Structure 1
Amino acid sequence: MAIDPNFEQSREQVGEENGVTVWGPVDPPEQLGIHGTHVAVDYDICIADGVCLENCPVDVFTWVDTPDHPESDRKVEPTREDQCIDCMLCVDVCPVDAIDVDASR
């Protein structure tokens, strides 16, 4: 199941972590929601293989710890989503379709 491209309408903004907007529902450690807005990562399906982090030409992503999450103990956070150049490489390389980039946001 891929990230919901309409998450801003279907989910509620529940807070912020490290300056990144978090969209619920959130119920740690199993359910962590979607992190980011322009560059959004669905933490609940992210497997943290790091391919987006390794391939991003402008270093949008950083690692954050997510202990005891069923998919992985760390995730990629769009810490510098304001630096995104909308190349869509992260979207293209994500094996589980956990990332959405929306140039209109």
Structure 2
Amino acid sequence: MPIDPNFEQNREKVDEENGVAVWGPVDPPEEQGIHGTHVAVDYDICIADGACLEDCPVDVFTWVDTPDHPTSELKVEPTHEDQCIDCMLCVDVCPVDAIDVDPGRAGRI
């Protein structure tokens, strides 16, 4: 199942890591939630293939450790989501639809 494009309405902001909003539920290591607002990554379905990180023209993403997560122990965090140019390349290359970019959420980072 792809990332919920309405996560802001359907989930609660429960934390902030590295300056990035975290939307619950979060119950590590299995549930990591959605990280980011303008550029959002669902850590629970991200398989960390790195396509988004490699293809992003403005380096929005960085690797972060997610020890013992059943899908992968690394995830891509939208650490620099404020630099996003809304090209949607990361959305297009994600093989599991774990990323959502919404230009309308840019002002709510």
For normalisation by structure 1, the TM-score amounts to 1.00
Aligned residues: 105
Q: What does 1:39-54 correspond to in 2, within 5 Å?
A: 39-54=39-54
Large movers: runs of 4+ above 2 Å: none
Q: RMSD in angstroms over aligned alpha carbons?
A: 0.2
Residue identity in the other structure for 2:83: Q
Counterpart position of 1:78: 78
For normalisation by structure 2, the TM-score amounts to 0.96
Please state which structure has a larger fraction of its residues in helix. Answer: 2
Identity of aligned residues (%): 86
Counterpart position of 1:69: 69
How many Å separate the matches in 1 of 2:18 and 2:28?
16
Once the two structures are TM-superposed, the CA of residue 4 in structure 1 deviates from its matched residue by: 0.1
Counterpart position of 1:25: 25
Counterpart position of 1:98: 98
Question: Secondary structure of the residue that 2:2 maps to in structure 1?
Answer: coil
Once the two structures are TM-superposed, the CA of residue 59 in structure 1 deviates from its matched residue by: 0.1
Question: Secondary structure of the residue that 1:104 maps to in structure 2?
Answer: helix
